Amino acid sequence: MAAELGTTRGAATAGPPRRRGEALESAIFEATLQQLTSDGYARLTMEGVAAAAQTGKAALYRRWPSKEELVKDALRACLPQAGPAPDTGALRGDLLAVVARLRTAMFSEPGAAVRAIMSELDHQRAHAFLEIVLERVVEPTTRLLGEVLARGAGRGEVRPGSVTPLVTDVVPALMLYRIKMCGGAAVRLDPEEIVDEVLLPIVRA
């Protein structure tokens, strides 16, 4: 009976099992993004991330020599994929779908982490992180907008010659501006306003 009690007591006091492989990496990235969002970049520490991910600090330093490298990998892994171009059968519906996807990405947990970085760091220090946002979010969005507008031109919904790189940059530029300069409240990034008041007047036939 004593042996049984000892076994029961040991099971009760044992800590949670340590994660390994992809499960551990996901836990580390999740802890990194959560700390960024709640505490900011300056207060994020490798020790804090390790504790939240239930792993040792050495496990982080074996793969990431600094918190900057850890944050960059977390953003690369967790920022939402753009996906294929939507096809609702109408230009407005397609544009709304693309803009809504971008808004969702910007207000996802990784997006919140990016906003924390943008609000805290100057442009030079934030540059490495913003390059990842450009690669994973902004450039895929401009590509999708280009595809949607080209399809609309084929249906006669888009004025010939109106689709340029500057036009496809308008949506992400506007949204990033509002996030950086105007506080970035989700209500200020309404897809219908952006499509109906900005994009469609520029390109409509």
My answer on whether 152 and 120 are in the same domain is yes
Cα distance between residue 199 and residue 38, in whole Å: 34
My answer on whether 117 and 64 are in the same domain is no
Indicate whether 41 belongs to any domain.
yes
For the chain, the average pLDDT equals 86
Last residue of a domain, one of 31, 48, 77: 77
Indicate whether 4 belongs to any domain.
no
My answer on whether 35 and 126 are in the same domain is no
pLDDT in tens, 39-54: 999 999 999 999 999 9
pLDDT in tens, 57-87: 999 999 999 999 999 999 999 998 888 999 9
Q: Cβ contacts of residue 91 below 8 Å, gap of 6+? A: 148, 149, 151, 152, 155, 157, 158, 200
Q: Confidence band (pLDDT; 50, 70, 90) for 8?
A: very low
Indicate whether 102 belongs to any domain.
yes
Cα distance between residue 91 and residue 150, in whole Å: 10
Number of domains in the chain: 2
Q: Confidence band (pLDDT; 50, 70, 90) for 112?
A: confident
Indicate whether 162 belongs to any domain.
yes
CATH number for position 172: 1.10.357.10
If one counts every other C-beta atom within 10 angstroms of the C-beta of residue 20, the result is 10
Q: Which domain holds residue 167?
A: 81-203
User: What is the three-class DSSP state of 64?
Assistant: coil
Indicate whether 95 belongs to any domain.
yes
My answer on whether 90 and 133 are in the same domain is yes
My answer on whether 73 and 158 are in the same domain is no
| Phi (first) and psi of residue 89, to 5 degrees | 95, -5
Last residue of a domain, one of 33, 60, 77: 77
Among 7-16, 89-98, 117-126, 182-191, name the one with the lowest average pLDDT: 7-16
